[in-house]
Amino acid sequence: MGFYRGISVLCALGCMAFAAGCGDDDEATDSTETETPAEPRHGLTAEQASQVLAKVGDETITVGEFAERLADQSPYLRARYNTPERRREFLENMVRFELLAQEAERRGLDELPEVQRLQKQMMIQQLMREQFEDRIQLDDITDEEVREYYEANRSEFHTPEQVRASQIRFTDRAKAQRVLTQLKDAPDDMDLWRRMAQENDTDPATRGARHGDLRFFSQDGSRGEGQDPIPAPVAEAAFGIQRIGQLHPELVEVDGAFYIVKLTGRRAALHRSLEEASRPIRNRLWRQKRETSVEELVTRLRTEAEVEENPGVLEAVRIDAPEGEMAGPLEPPFGAHP
């Protein structure tokens, strides 16, 4: 059974396999075929591994393939299939899988665009593993590289106390006061808060689906890189609230606008030593090296393939976002970031 053919048919038959009664043994059959091992594996010599265990039409299942698929399962399933009866059951699942795969191919399902797209995705995953995961290891990151990153990004590992708060901003003081009174009468009613924020918040950055959420910020109002700071009076009001879920008792006025402020979270100051930060830094640098290698490969392939694009035709595309949802960043195509 061909490797890519097996992938295509597997993708097309996900639902059909359940309907055919695969039950909780689907996991035991959902893996790709491997070549007969050149060296002894799983207690088998090369000759033993090449022996035919079953034949389904023109396709064969060898002892080596059976052992590889069984080895791919979780420790729980490997233990489950440790008796002759259970191993015969595992083999029957493999035969059933092949029967369904052959039927799908007869029906031309391997030619469906969505099946071929999933096949490409799985090939890219395999490429990422062979080209990058197996070649770029955590051990390749030196202690000096970790130290240099730590020193250049100390703010990541030393942060002051932060709070999280939500706001509702008004331009009308009387209206803001009426809503504040209503919220103070039901301080634990989150549905009321969401409704009031949805109906009244005039800040385009927090209205809508965020329901006034300002996320975390420091006492001076500073937030993460690229985010505008919180107005100082709003930050001061949030830090003055003692208990999470409480409201600041008064309206906060800033440049002619009036804010209702609610404390929703608190984060203690963070101070991590180089030793404590070493592992996450090493993981981050490892990912960066992989991403750089991927981009270098894609750049080379793009040059060799002489890619031509015609983005002007995209102007005709119209995809409406669900009403009330804010547009977010587009996800990169599969494989752009492994």
Q: Under a CB-based contact definition with an 8 Å cutoff, are residues 237 and 248 in contact?
A: yes
Checking 289-293 for CB contacts under 8 A at 24+ apart, the result is: 289/136, 289/140, 289/141, 290/132, 290/133, 290/136, 290/338, 291/337, 291/338, 293/131, 293/132, 293/136
Over residues 37-59, the mean pLDDT reads 81
List pLDDT tens digits, range 172-217.
Answer: 999 999 999 999 999 889 999 999 999 999 999 898 889 999 999 9
Q: What's the number of CA atoms in the CB half-sphere (13 Å) around residue 62? A: 17
Alpha helices in 20-169 (DSSP H): 26-29, 46-49, 63-71, 75-80, 84-106, 113-128, 143-152
Helix (H) or strand (E) holding 278: helix 274-305
Q: How far apart (Å, rounded) are the C-alpha atoms in residues 252 and 277?
A: 39
Straight-line distance from the first to the last Cα atom of the chain, in angstroms, rounded to the nearest whole number? 28
* CATH topology assigned to domain 160-269: Chitinase A; domain 3 (3.10.50)
Nearest CA among 197, 194, 208 for reference residue 326: 208
Per-residue pLDDT of 95-144, as tens digits, reads 999 899 999 999 999 899 999 999 999 999 888 888 887 777 888 889 99
pLDDT digits (tens, 9 = 90+) for 226-277: 788 999 999 999 999 999 999 999 999 999 999 999 999 999 998 999 999 9
Q: How far is CA 151 from the centre of its chain?
A: 29
Q: What is the H or E stretch that residue 236 is in?
A: helix 232-240
Give the DSSP H or E segment for 169. Answer: strand 162-170
For 207, list phi and psi in degrees, rounded to 5.
-75, 175
Cβ neighbours, 10 Å, residue 266: 16
Domain spans of the chain, in order of start: 3-133, 138-157+272-300, 160-269
pLDDT for res 178: 96
Distant-in-sequence contacts of 315-324, Cβ < 8 A, 24+ apart: 324/208, 324/209
- Alpha-carbon span 177 to 174, nearest angstrom: 5
Nearest to 338 by CA among 290, 300, 301: 290
Of 6 and 163, the structure prediction assigns the larger pLDDT to 163
Place of tokens 């270098």: 296
Tokens at 275, concatenated? 């030793």
Distance in angstroms (rounded) separating the CA atoms of residues 208 and 224: 21
pLDDT of residue 148: 94
Give residue 39's pLDDT: 56
pLDDT at 323 exceeding the cut of 60: no
Phi, psi of 164 (to 5 degrees): -120, 135
Residues 6+ apart with CB under 8 A from 46: 36, 37, 38, 39, 40
Closest Cα partner for 157 from 66, 281, 260, 257? 281
> What pLDDT was estimated at residue 271?
92
Q: How far is CA 53 from the centre of its chain?
A: 39
Q: What is the pLDDT of residue 22?
A: 41
Q: How many CA atoms lie within 13 A of 233 on its CB side?
A: 12
